[in-house]
Amino acid sequence: MIKERLQAIQKEVYGMKQQVFNPYLPSWEYIPDGEPRVFDGRLYVYGSHDRFNGDVYCQNDYVCWSAPEDDLSDWRYEGVIFQKTQDPRNPDGAHALWAPDVCRGNDGKYYLYYCLDFLKEIGVAVCDTPAGKYEFLDFVRYPNGDILGSRPDEIRQFDPGIFIDDDKHIYLFSGNSPRYKTPGVDKDSLKMELEQDMITVKHGPYHNLPIINDADGTEYEAHPFFEASSVRKINGKYYFIYSSTWMHELCWAVADTPLGEYRYGGVLVSNADIGVNGNTQALNYRGNTHGSVIKAGGKWYVFYHRQTNRHFFSRQACAEEIFFDGERFHQAEITSCGLNGGPLKDEGIYEARIACHLYSKNGTCESQPDQQDENHPAFTQEGEDRMDTPNQYINNMVDGATAGFRYFSFTDAKEIFVEVRGTANGAFVVRDERDGNVVARIPVQPSKGWQRFSAPLSIESGKKPLYFTYEGEGAADFMHFGFGKQN
C-alpha cells in the first residue's frame, strides 16, 4: 500500500507516470493469450490464466486486468471474472479454460466467448460490466439447436474471436491447425456470422485462412494459420490477427469484408524477435504466442506473450508499440520498455526478469524441458503460484549466457551493479549492443544469498540497450541490476 500511495502522490503532484516494463503485469502473474479491448476509456486485457510451474496450459480461472487508456503503466487487478466450474460440462473443474475473447454486444452487455481445452464447443458468458462476474449463457448453436462443433463431421472449435461491425452485424472466428502436414486432420480456420442473440449461427461456418495442409502455393505458404483468431476494423478494412505454425509469431491479414477473402499482410511480432530488421536468429526462448492489436491513447500496440520456467505452461503478458502506416503494420521489435512510451531511465533499480532477450553461449531453443536444459538460462520464481511477491529472476546464468534489455536513455549514470547469488566466480560483461562496446565489467563471487556487485559504467549518452553476458565458472541467479551517478 505504501508503494501505491507514493506512486499516486508522484502522479498527483508532479504529473509523472510510473515506468512500466515487459512483462507489464506483476512478476507473479501469468496471463497468456491476451485480447486487448478498450471500453469507455479503459483498456482491458482478457486472457487465459496459467499457473506458475503448471504442468498443462491454463490451469487457473479467468481474471482481468485493466488500465486507463491514457496511462498504460497503471494496471489494476479486476479479480476473477469467470470460473471453469461455471461451465455446465465442467462441475469438477477437470477441464481448463483456454483463450477467450470479449465484446460489448449491441444490447450494451459484455459477452465472453471461450473453449474448454479439448472439448469441441464454444461457450458464451455474459455480464453487465467489462470486468464483473460473468454468468454462463449458452453454447454457440445452429438454428435447429445443434451445438456448433457437436456434429460428427465438425472440427473442434478453438480460440474464439468475436467481432461486431459498425452496422451491428456479429462475426465469430475460430480454429486451429496442426504444426506439421497431417493427412485427413479435422482442423481448420473458420469464420461465421451470428444472429443478434449472440448465440445462433446465421451464416457459415466457412473456411477462412489456409492451414499448413493447404497453404502450399499460396501467399500463406511461409506463414500458415495455426491458431489465435482475432479481428479488428481499421480504416474500413478488416484485419485478421493470428498465430502461424511457427508459433513464436503473430501475423496479420486483411480483407474488404468480415467474411471476405483475407490477403496475407505480414508479421506483427515474434516473441523470439525473429524477422526484425532482417534478423533470422532467435534471441529469446521461443514458444507459442497469442494476442492482438489495439489503438489506445492515440497509439497502436500489439499484445503477445512470452514463455518462462523452461516450459509452455507459465506464460506472461507483454506488449509493444507498433507502427501502422494507415494500411500496413510493420513488425515490432520486442523490448523491456514496451508500454512505457519511451526508453527507461538510467537510474534506480530494475528487475532482471524484464530482459527481452535471453540466450545461452550456443543460442536458444524452444522453451521445453527436453531442450532448455542446464546449459541454458531461464526466467523463474521462488514459491508457489500467485504469492503476490516480486521475486522472479533469471536462473542459471552460466558461462556465455546473455540477458538483453532494450532500451534506456543514458544521461548521468556512472556506475552499474547486479544483484546475484549462486556459484558464479567470474564477471558480468556489459555491452551497449549485442556485439557492441564493453561499457562495464562487474566481477562477481560465489554467494548463498543475494549480493550486490558493482563497477564503473562508461557509456555514451542517448538511447541504448544493455546486454549482460556472464563469463566465468559456476552459475549465477540474476535478480536485479541498477545504476548510480558516482564512481
pLDDT at 151: 93
> Percent of the chain at pLDDT above 70?
96
Task: Find the Cα–Cα–Cα–Cα dihedral 348, 352, 353, 359, rounded to 10°.
Answer: 150
Q: pLDDT for 376-406, tens place per residue? A: 999 999 999 988 888 999 999 999 999 999 9
Q: Which residues form the domain of 146?
A: 21-330
Q: If pLDDT is split at 50, 70 and 90, which confidence band does 47 have?
A: very high
Residue 11 has pLDDT above 70, yes or no: no
Same domain flag for 194 and 49: yes
- The overall average pLDDT reported for the chain is 95
| Residue 49, domain member (yes or no) | yes
| Average pLDDT for 237-260 | 98
| Verdict on whether the full-model pTM lies above 0.75 | yes
| Residue 7, domain member (yes or no) | no
Same domain flag for 153 and 264: yes
Neighbours of 205 (CB within 10 A): 24
Neighbours of 117 (CB within 10 A): 16
Q: pLDDT for 309-337, tens place per residue? A: 999 999 999 999 999 999 999 999 999 99
Residue 39 phi, psi (nearest 5): -130, 120
Q: Which of 33, 61, 249, 320 is catalytic?
A: 33
| Residue 3, domain member (yes or no) | no
Residue 68 has pLDDT above 80, yes or no: yes
Residue 6 has pLDDT above 70, yes or no: no
| Residue 16, domain member (yes or no) | no
| Average pLDDT for 361-379 | 94
Q: Which of 29, 101, 227, 320 is catalytic?
A: 227
Identify the CATH number of the domain in which residue 293 sits.
2.115.10.20
Same domain flag for 383 and 294: no
| Residue 11, domain member (yes or no) | no
Identify the CATH number of the domain in which residue 462 sits.
2.60.120.260
| Average pLDDT for 33-38 | 98
Same domain flag for 81 and 48: yes
Same domain flag for 33 and 129: yes
Same domain flag for 316 and 365: no
| Distance between CA atoms of residues 166 and 110, nearest Å | 16
Q: pLDDT for 123-174, tens place per residue? A: 999 999 999 999 999 999 999 999 999 999 899 999 999 999 999 999 999 9
Q: How far from 36 is each of 58, 73, 175, CA to CA, in Å?
A: 18, 15, 20
pLDDT at 5: 43
pLDDT at 487: 52
| Residue 15, domain member (yes or no) | no
| Residue 83, domain member (yes or no) | yes
| Distance between CA atoms of residues 347 and 481, nearest Å | 10
Tally of domains in the chain: 2
Neighbours of 376 (CB within 10 A): 22
Q: CB within 8 A of 132, min separation 6: which ones?
A: 81, 110
Residue 52 has pLDDT above 50, yes or no: yes
> Is 50 known to be catalytic?
no
Same domain flag for 267 and 363: no
> Is 188 known to be catalytic?
no
Residue 253 has pLDDT above 90, yes or no: yes
Residue 466 has pLDDT above 60, yes or no: yes
The residue whose grid cell reads 532477450 is: 357
Question: Could you tell me which of 394, 381, 385 has the C-alpha nearest to residue 284?
Answer: 394
Same domain flag for 49 and 120: yes
